[in-house]
Amino acid sequence: MDLEARAHSEHPDELRLWLRLMTCTQLVEKQVRNGLREQFATTLPRFDLMAQLERSPDGLKMNELSRRMMVTGGNITGITDQLVAEGLVERVDVAGDRRAWRVRLTSRGRKLFNDMAQAHEDWIVDAFAALNGKEIAQLHRLLGKVKQHSHQQMAEAT
């Protein structure tokens, strides 16, 4: 049973909508995870780490990666060690700090990431294939309103 199936007609529409969003998110993420595993023998966390590095050609320090990915340094170290062993990322010294290093994609890692990113884009486009362009734009706009309202509430709470 998915999250949405737990909601009943007596629940507020907002709760049922939230559960539908969560269910859709989980279904799309499952498709992405399966695609990464089947086509590239990799995982979503490895893809996410490589995506962060692709956006920073000079590389990132481990603590920067940890902060951006919102996971512990231990998680980043384990994934990085695997990717280094496979020749997809490399560690380079940080000038003036003997204890630190930057992690960056190798040329082989960049090529593989570009292939994965294109497949990822295709999977996401396919996940929304039931909607036409106008519906996608409308849904994007409406969710933007929800996002803006949530940001405002959070800002007011602090």
pLDDT 10s per residue in the chain (158 long)?
Answer: 566 666 666 778 899 899 999 999 999 999 999 999 999 999 999 999 999 999 999 999 998 999 999 988 888 999 999 999 999 999 998 888 878 889 999 999 999 999 999 999 999 999 999 999 999 999 999 999 999 999 999 999 98
Token pair of 104 as six digits: 């960056």
Helices 13-40 and 107-127 meet at what angle, rounded to 10? Answer: 140
Exposed, middle or buried, 19 (CB in 10 Å: 0-12/13-18/19+)? middle
What's the gap between Cα 32 and its chain centre? Answer: 10
Please state the pTM of the whole predicted model.
Answer: 0.85
